[in-house]
Amino acid sequence: MGEAKRRETAMKHLMVGAAAAAVLTGAMAASAQEHSIRVGSFTPEGAVGVQNVMIPWIEAVQDELGDRVELTGFWGGTLGPDPFAQYELVRDGVIDVAWILPGYTPGQFPQLQITELPFTVQSGEEASTVAWRLYETGLLDGFDDVHVLSIWTPDITNIHLTEPVENLGDLEGSALRTAGATQALFVEAIDAAPQTLGSVEANEAMLRGTIDGQLQGWTGMRTFGGFAVADATYMVPLGASPFLLLMNLNTWNSLPEDVQEVMMRHAGEGLGAYGGSRYDAITQDIIATQRDEGHTIIEASQDDIAAYADQYSDVHDRWIEQHDNGQEIYDTFIQLLNDYRSGG
C-alpha cells in the first residue's frame, strides 16, 4: 500500500472514531440532561403555601439532584390565574406541578374534603397528617390522572364577618362564602346561605354587602386581603380545607426512578405536616396582630363547641350519605384522628 493510500485509510479511521465519540458524547449529554419542571400557583409568591410548602420542596429537591432537574416557580397565576382551573391545568400538562384546592374542583376529590367537617380536626398539622394517611389507605377517588406529591391543610377554618356575632344562631339568614360542598353542608345546617366564591371574589362581595362573611383560615384572609373588609371573626373550629400538590402524570412517568424517589422523600406526609405546622404558627401571629389593630374576635367556649357538635351532628351524617363508601371513609378518618392524638 502506498503512502497516500495509508494516509487516506488512517484519515477514514480518525473520522469514524470522531463520529463515534460525538455520538457517545451526545448520548452522555442527553442522559445527563436536566428535566425542566414548571411549578405554578395562582396565589402570589408571598402566600403561606408557596413559601412554606412549594418553595421548600423545590429547594430540597434541587439541592439533592443538582442539574439533573430544573424546577422553576411561576407564581401569581403566570401559567393560569383561575383558581378553579388549576386541576385541569396540571392534568393537561400546562403546568407540571400545581397547588390544587379540592373545594375549587367540584366532584373531583369530594371524599378528601372530609377534613372540612366541623368540630373534627384541631390544627393544620393534625389535619395535614391525617389527610395524607387517609389518602394512603386507597379509599379516596379522583387521583388516577395525576401524581400526588403531598397533601396539607392550612389553619382551622373560622367565620370572618362584616359584623360581630355571639354565637352560630346569630348567623341565621346570613350569606356566607364557602370553598366547596362540605362547608356548604354546615352553612345550610345553621340556616344560612352558602356562596361558593374564590377569596378575592368573596372580599368584593363583602364590600358590596352581598355576603355577610366567609369561611376561611386566618392565613387565607391575610394573603388575599380579607381583613380590609372583615371587622370581626367568630372563632369556632370548622375543619380545615385540604390542599394538594399534584404533578402531571406524564411528567412524573418521564422521570427516572431515582429522581422520583428523591422528590417523594421530600414530599408526602413530612412535607404536608411541616406545611400545616407553619400555617398554625403563622396563624397565631396573625391573630395577635389583628387583635392589636382592633379586630373584634369572639371565641366559642369549649362548652359551646361541644354543644354545637351535638346540635349539628347531622352535617356528618349528611356527608356520609352523599359520598361513595362514605361510612367506611368517615370511620377510617375518625380512627386516624384518634391514632394521631394518641401518638400513633
Cell matching residue 22: 460525538
Assign domain 35-153+241-280 one CATH number from 3.20.20.150, 3.30.930.10, 3.40.190.170, 3.40.50.300: 3.40.190.170
Q: Which residues pair with 72 in a beta bridge?
A: 38
Q: Which residues of 116-128 are buried (b: 16+ CB within 10 A; e: fewer)?
A: bbbbbbebbbbbb
**pLDDT score, position 158:** 98
- pTM beyond 0.85: the answer is yes
Give the span between the Cα atoms of 303 and 286, in whole angstroms.
Answer: 25
The radius of gyration of the chain's CA atoms, rounded to the nearest angstrom, is 25
Q: What is the structure's pLDDT at 116?
A: 97
Task: Measure the CA–CA gap between 192 and 186, rounded to whole angstroms.
Answer: 9
Question: What confidence score (pLDDT) does residue 34 get?
Answer: 86
Nearest-angstrom CA–CA distance, 218 and 154: 9
Other beta carbons within 10 angstroms of residue 92's beta carbon come to: 12
Across the chain, which has 344 residues, the per-10-residue mean pLDDT values are: 50 44 38 81 95 98 97 98 97 98 93 97 98 98 98 98 98 96 97 95 97 97 97 98 98 98 98 98 98 98 98 98 96 98 91
In this structure, are residues 241 and 221 in contact, taking their beta carbons and an 8 Å threshold?
Answer: no
How many residues can be counted in the chain? 344
How is the chain split into domains, by residue range?
A: 35-153+241-280, 158-239+295-316
* End-to-end alpha carbon distance in the chain: 83
Task: Please tell me the predicted confidence (pLDDT) of residue 2.
Answer: 52
Domain 35-153+241-280 matches domain 158-239+295-316 at the CATH topology level:
yes
**Residue 187 grid cell:** 352553612
> What's 158-239+295-316's CATH class?
alpha beta
> Which three three-digit cell numbers place residue 5?
493510500
